Amino acid sequence: MFGYYRVAAAVNKTTVANPKKNAEEILTLIHNACDKEVSVIVFPELTLTGYTASDLFLNQTLLASQNESLYDILNNIKEINTIVIVGIAVLEADRLYNCAAVLQSGKILGVVPKSYLPNNKEFYEKRQFVSGRDIVRTTVEFLDEEVPFGVDLLFTDKADLTFGVEICEDLWAVTPPSNHMTSNGANLLFNLSASNELIGKHEYREELVRTQSARCMAAYVYASAGVGESTTDTVYGGHAIISEYGSTVAQNERFTLENSLITADIDLERLRWLRINESSYSDGRRKKTRTIQVSALPKISYIQREISPHPFVPSQYADKQQRCNEIVHIQAHGLIKRMTHAHIKKAVIGISGGLDSTLALLSTHKAFEIMGWDSRNIIAVTMPGFGTTSRTKSNAVKLCEALGVTLKTVDITDISLKEFEAIEHDKNEHSVTYENVQARARTSILMNMANKEGGLVIGTGDLSEIALGWSTYNGDHMSMYALNSGIPKTLIKYVIEYFKSNASISDIIDDILDTPISPELLPHKEDEIVQETEEIVGPYELHDFFLYHFIKYGAKPSKILHLASIAFDTKYDEDTIKQWLRLFLRRFFTQQFKRSCMPDGPKVGTISLSPRADWKMPSDADVEVWLKALDNNN
């Protein structure tokens, strides 16, 4: 479904050296995974025998029992199309290999040997096993079948899934085999492991899995041996982890005496397109691999995963102070460099009492604070017009006074009336001309004042407005440094809330956050805002969601619609989401000409629409294909 696959990591109850009992537990977990619509399930290292069988691996009876039990598993999964990855010992050319067997529908698709064998302290695998790191383009006769055998095996459904397998120590190596697997297209990695528990080791283990998933731009599914293993010298906790591109999405409770199964829905389509969009992935060296096609996999009926409605906003687990500090410092130091390079001592900002100008002012004030500059050299200009309400103007004034900046007021009413007269526009006709005259008048005042004061005009427009083209060309669209250009509206709200820790402006910020978003260009009624932006262009939280998925990995309109329906299921119905998605697509394409000549501004997150770096698009590209795809659910 839209590139999502459900994967599982299983930790079975283990009886050391008793493959028959272990096979029973394995089958229970396989059937459980099948019922859960799992595409691939991975088990711990040497699943059938137990990892700690030690020198018993050198005994013919144990290997014969393992093979017999594996044969029973194959017979019992003939009607199951979930792929199963189990750990087995394989005897080939009078050498014993620690391997992973990939099974589906009663068949062995391939066998992958372990490359790196630990042989120090509590581990002594070279006593029984041989490394398979050089085995490629080979087969092995196993259970009376000729089966692909080697470290060069990848498995694919010829759609979005391509996976590779490594075993325990392989992940801990300087150059894990998974690096080469991902260079050859694997976007899903599985690890059968037997990692014992030591104080703090589980944290490092989770970090290792998570960071490898980030480095490989892949999902990584890890299953480690459980407490049924021998405790002669070590204890195993049965750690299971599923990570996706640097984030752990599922993790079990260790030290359980029962079978454990964790699942997660992984967006493999997203991972594939992220590689195209965001990295030097394509520069990775490819090696010859053998790709084995798997049969049709279970289709998930619905996505069992939380879809964040606000993908630009740090998760609830992130340290808010740290994240907001980082955002503000990126803005502040971008501005510091621009001002010092140009030998400019003053900043000029239009202040409206809205979200965007509030953050621009706060971040500019931070820059002056860092440099020890006089905050009175920040010239904040309020420019009331036909639609300005006392509430927004009052908040702007109070904020400026609290920060100790220089406050100037320039009423644009007379200037706008003269503009109307000059272009022969009826002042009672409240069209786009009526609005844009005011926006350009304000920008003209700021530019001229900057010339007079020897200052730099700070742009306040944010990333959401830039995406929608919600600005007046050569009006609020233009500045000398676009400080908010890398921050979407949802993130601006988040950062402004952080400034509430300053008691002197806390109440002002509360009221600014509570004020409807409005350009205040149409005449107000009884001092109340009559022009609410989100009633015209739609909720910014939806547009930020659309922008993230559209730019981050080029998601199709149908997928954006489906994910938004999950993320906002209790807030907006699908028809409403589709209505605003259609508007987003239209505006994003038709307003590119404004982005093509936008001023410099600092990139803050992973998405920017700067025409000089992140987003290059012709201004006359046609949106028809995307709108048809949305209508046809493609």
Residue 50 · residue 15 · CB < 8 Å: yes
CA distances to 120, 123, 169, 210 from 175, in Å:
19, 20, 11, 16
CA distances to 358, 429, 518, 563 from 532, in Å:
18, 19, 5, 27
Distance CA 39, CA 81 (A): 8
Do the strands 406-409 and 219-224 form a parallel or antiparallel pair, or are they unpaired?
A: unpaired
Distance CA 106, CA 234 (A): 35
Distance CA 626, CA 381 (A): 42
Q: Which residues are 155's β-sheet partners?
A: 163, 292
C-alpha distance across the termini of the chain, in Å: 12
Instruction: Provide the 3-class DSSP secondary structure of residue 556.
Output: coil
Distance CA 369, CA 377 (A): 11
Residue 423 · residue 392 · CB < 8 Å: no
Distance CA 363, CA 471 (A): 21
Longest dimension (CA), the chain: 100
The residue type found at 325 is N
DSSP code of residue 571: T
Residue 136 · residue 119 · CB < 8 Å: no
CA distances to 21, 29, 64, 141, 163 from 77, in Å:
17, 12, 20, 21, 20
CA distances to 356, 491, 514 from 350, in Å:
10, 21, 20
What backbone phi and psi angles, to 5 degrees, belong to 466?
A: -65, -40
DSSP sequence for 7-23: EEEEE----TT-HHHHH
Distance CA 396, CA 382 (A): 7
Q: Which residues are 188's β-sheet partners?
A: 163, 219
Active site residues: 45, 114, 168
